[in-house]
Each structure stands twice: as C-alpha cells, then as structure tokens.
Amino acid sequence: MKTIKTILFFGILIVNLISSPSFSQSTTEKENTLKTAKLLQSRLDSVTTKQLIPGATLSVRFKDGTKISLASGLSDVENKTPMKPDAVMFSGSVGKTYVAAVVLKLYEKGLIDLKAKATDYLKDEPWFLKIPNAADITVEMLLNHTAGVPEYVYHTEVWQAMKDNPDKVWTVEERLSFVYADPPSNAPGKGWAYADSHYLVLGLIIEKITGKTYYDVLRDYILKPCKLKQTVPSDKRTIPGLIPGYTGMPEQFLLPRKMLNNNLFAFNPQMEWTGGGLATTVSDLTLWATQLYGGDVLKPESKKLMFTPAPFKTILPEGAGYGLGCFIGKTNGRLYYGHSGFMPGYITIVQYIPEYGISIAFQFNTDGPERGFSPDRFFNVLKKVVLENMVK
C-alpha cells in the first residue's frame, strides 16, 4: 500500500476543523487552537503513514464550545478512501456509558432501586435464575461489574453461531445461556470482573421497567435531549455511513479481516445490544462526554454515584477504577472520567478532564494495530499535546 497522505489541508483548518458556536476566542486563543490542531494532526499522521493503523479520527471539545475535529489515513484501505473527521464507527463498550445514564435517570425518577436485586425486576424470566449469582446480584453490582456474571462473548460457540447465521437476531436469554454452566467470576459484590453480560441484564431491566425498547428509551432520555444526531443504534447489518473496520483476530472471531463489504457488516451487531450497541462519530462522543460528565444530564447525586469506583482492583489502564459505567482514572495525577470500547474492527477511547472541562475522543478502524502501537499510550500522547498547548 502506498504511503498514506493526510486528508486535511491546513490552509482551511479554521473553516473545516475548528469551530466555536460563540466565536468568542481571542486572536491568541485562536492561534493556540490552530497550533494545537496542527500538532495533533502531525501525531495522527505519524501512525497512519507508518501504517500502524489504517485510519483515525479525533475530536477535542473545550469548555467554551470550541471544537477541533481531525482525521488521518484511510477509511477503506482497498479503495484508498480518505478518512473523514465525521466518519461513523462502532464505539463498542462506550455504549455502556449511555446504559448507565439511562439507569440513573430511572433512579432519579424513582423507577429503579440501585440496591434492589435484579430478580425483583425479572420475576417473569425464570431462565434468569440459571445464571451464576442470579439470586443475589443487585442493579448496582451490574453497573459496576461486581455481580460476577461470566462473560458470554468468551465462548467460541457464540462466534460460530454468528458465522453460521450472520443475520441472527439474539434474545438476552440466548446470549446468556452460554454461561449457565460457567463458574461465577466472583461472589456477588465481592470482586470485580468486566463483562458485557452484566449490561445485557441491565438492558432487560430497563425494558421491563419502562415497557419500551431500550433504544426507544435511549432516544427519549439521551439522544434527542443531548442532540446526538450522529449516534445511532447498531441493530442491523447495514448502518448508514459506517466505514469498514479491519480485525486483527479473524481466526479467534471466525470473521473476515475486512468487516464491512458492500455496506454489509460481517454479522448482525444487534448481538452487542446494551453491552455497547451504538455507532457514532468522535464529535458526538465529545459532545456526549461533555454533557454527561460536565453537564446536567444527571443530577449531582447521580454523578457522585457514577464517579464512585467499586472498591476492587481492576485491569483497566493506569489502574483506573470503575464506577457506574465509568472509568475513573488519572494520567500524571490529572483526573479523568470516560470509557473505552472494542468492536471487531474498531477501537474507541473517550475521556473528560473535569479540571479543565475538556473532552477528547479517538477512534480508529482496526482492532489489531501493528506491533508497537498502544491505543492507550497514544491517546495519552494526544492528551498531552492538548493540555500543554491549550491549558495555562
């Protein structure tokens, strides 16, 4: 493949990449923003030109509403299609932040008790008691991954079933039936083990309480009020605007390396549901992070709950803790809230730095970058550029 060239021309950065709804930046501030954008573009280009990843998008949103949107590399390697800043990609487990927000909105309305047992809401689902720990887990344990329900996606049979029937529409019972015979990851509330399984149960509880589909509740509670116009359910194999992703683990997942062909994804992403379940852009991700962590989507009491990590060691980068659908971590002593996400062919990282009211989102279209490329370390490089040049 030929060397990948940047798709953005710096002579029009102000028009295409930097926007401020208030146009309130001083000349010096605009110069700093332009300088920061150029430095960030250079960092992105440094990994795409070396072909460590096919392509990437980046959004940085500041407290005053100013936004930087960048792209580098290719969205479609075979067709040599340049990446665009508004490219749509699956955001993987970042979708859990929306699920947690919905649950906390229901909590604020008095419709759900975080300390209640899951069985209180799932009495008409007798199969649920077959799940390890089912009788004793609470809503809060599901939210912070201390419920101990095993991870269903670790079963090869799941991926074989998707290969055999890529159009299959999965029920929660079908997904979780794979863990019936598995030992629990930990006793209820006595340890931490990340699992999409926890959030599938939360999705079912949301639907039981509201009498609506999860995506309808999400639209009414979050997507419409927050004006997340580029964020859509990943509930079918054709997603408008979705760019190809490239998996580095085709053997493990029984999938083709290129995950999107003729606008058809390799399997029905509906299987992810409330374990993730969304396709979006980096611009919408920073808009969401700014409103969730720094805005008034949730009441202060609810945000305090979200930002309280479970009292157990995790395996998250930088030793981050896990609250209610939220990473709580520090980079060089500086606090951040956020989440990362994986979907075959795509990686997403989004963080909000409360000290400065800055949101940063980074996506790229492979889950198997070349050796020497660490998404978390590279994200910290980008974050350092932003803070060193935009924060006084």
- Condensed to tens digits (0 to 9), the pLDDT of residues 148-167 reads 999 999 999 999 999 999 99
Indicate the residue type of 102: V
Q: Is position 32 within any domain?
A: yes
Give domain status of residue 61, yes or no.
yes
Tell me which of 12 and 254 has the higher pLDDT: 254
Tell me whether residue 315 is in a domain.
no
Q: Report the mean per-residue pLDDT for the chain.
A: 93
Single pTM value for the model: 0.93
Helices H / strands E in the chain, number of each: 12, 14
Q: Which helix (H) or strand (E) holds 388?
A: helix 375-390
Q: Is residue 147 domain-shared with residue 184, that is, in the same domain?
A: yes
CB 360 within 8 A of CB 386: yes
Of 81, 111, 141, which closes a domain? Answer: 81
Are 127 and 56 members of one domain?
no
Hunting for tokens 């004793």 — which residue is that?
Answer: 136
| Final residue in a domain of this structure, among 81, 116, 136 | 81
Whether 219 and 169 share a structural domain = yes
Tell me: do 132 and 166 sit in the same domain: yes
d(CA 54, CA 282): 16
Amino acid 17: pLDDT: 52
Residue 156 lies in a domain: yes
Domain contains 169: yes
Task: Convert the pLDDT of each residue in 374-391 to its tens digit.
Answer: 999 999 999 999 999 987
Q: Please provide the DSSP assignment of 29-94 as one string.
A: HHHHHHHHHHHHHHHHHHHHTTTSSSEEEEEEE-TTS-EEEEEEEEEETTTTEEP-TT-BEE-GGG
Query: Quick check: helix, strand or coil at residue 341?
Result: strand
What are phi and psi for residue 364, nearest 5 degrees? -145, 160
Structural domain of 20 = 1-81
Quick: pLDDT tens for 33-75. 999 999 999 999 999 999 999 999 999 999 999 999 999 999 9
Residue 67: closest CA among 310, 345, 360 = 360
Whichever domain contains 112, its CATH number is: 3.40.710.10
Among the candidates 18, 48, 81, a domain finishes at 81
Look at residue 392 in the predicted model and tell me its pLDDT: 66
Please give the tally of structural domains in the chain. Answer: 2
